[in-house]
Amino acid sequence: MARVLLFGPLRDVAGWRERDAEAASITALKALLRAEDARLGEALAAPGVQVALDQAIVRGDAALGPRSEVAFLPPMSGG
Amino acid sequence: MIALTDQPFDPGALLAAFAKDRRETGAIATFTGLARAEQGQTHVLELEAYPGFTEAAIGKIAETARSRFELDDLLITHRIGRIGPGEPIVFVATAASHRRAAFEACDFLMDYLKSRAPFWKKEHGPDGARWIEPRPEDHADVARWD
């Protein structure tokens, strides 16, 4: 069970900030979220959205463990 | 030191504490950023961070500043959460032997914080809320240091 976090505009699209999801990889997690909410799936695939696994940016796919934290980070605004 | 806080802070008090008991520092430069009212267009600014990740990312750039400008010390305090017009959002202090390094490091850190730091910013105004992205000037400012 991975913990999924959304930030910035992604939260408004999804209507949630944080939830658990059962997925073995980031690709599987994205597919799961897309299947549940097509608009969120589209927003997650938009250019500039980065993925952090356990607080480190990952590019491409990665395996998820039972306690993984996956954060979807839309383009950052600066402070 | 790097701190994110959801509470208002007093830049003067931060500077006084930062400047205390320094014998080799010859210069401290500071920057204080305030939330603008934008002629009533912004009622509240909402800043979101990714706890842990945001501090770590700012920490990396702070280490770069420390070695690049040979700083003695630095302090970054950044508000998160809901911020009203006129309230300080960010305070940066840089301590060095001489003024040029302190000024430049402060400028460098602010250019980074305004354009690349992991924050998400929402403006609440009379017509609702909107997410803000860095302005082209912010990107140009930070590119000066590449």
Helical packing angle, B53-68 and B99-115, nearest 10°: 150
Give dist(CA B74, CA A24) in Å, integer. 42
Is the pLDDT at B55 greater than 90, yes or no?
Answer: yes
Residue B3 structure tokens: 């701190």
Residue ranges covered by each domain of chain A:
2-73
DSSP assigned state of A25: B
Chain B CB contacts of A72 under 8 Å are none
Is the pLDDT at B42 greater than 80, yes or no?
Answer: no
Q: Which residue of A has its CA nearest to B116?
A: A78
- Are A79 and B138 an interchain contact pair (Cβ–Cβ within 8 Å)? no
Residue B97 structure tokens: 């032997």
- Longest CA–CA separation in chain A, Å: 34
Instruction: Give the domain extent around B107.
Output: 2-143
- Longest CA–CA separation in chain B, Å: 52
- Are A79 and B114 an interchain contact pair (Cβ–Cβ within 8 Å)? yes
Give dist(CA B13, CA B91) in Å, integer. 11
Nearest to B116 among A52, A73, A78 (CB): A78
Q: Which residue of A has its CA nearest to B34?
A: A79
Give dist(CA A56, CA A49) in Å, integer. 14
The pLDDT value recorded for residue B38 is: 83
Residue B85 structure tokens: 């017009």
- Report yes or no on whether pTM surpasses 0.95: no
Give dist(CA A79, CA B90) in Å, integer. 8
How does residue B26 score in pLDDT terms, banded at 50, 70 and 90? Answer: very high
Give how far A36 is from chain B: nearest CA, Å: 24
Neighbours of A74 (CB within 10 A): 21
Tell me how many domains chain B contains.
Answer: 1
Neighbours of B105 (CB within 10 A): 25
Chain A CB within 8 Å of residue B3 CB: no
The domain defined by A2-73 folds into Ubiquitin-like (UB roll) (3.10.20)
* Model confidence pLDDT, tens digit, residues A43-74: 999 989 999 999 999 999 999 998 999 999 99
Chain B CB contacts of A74 under 8 Å are 120
Q: Which residue of A has its CA nearest to B90?
A: A79
Chain B CB contacts of A48 under 8 Å are none
3-state secondary structure of A11: helix
Average pLDDT, chain B: 95
Is the pLDDT at B138 greater than 90, yes or no?
Answer: no
H-helix segments, chain A:
9-14, 26-36, 38-44
**CATH code at position B15:** 3.90.1170.40
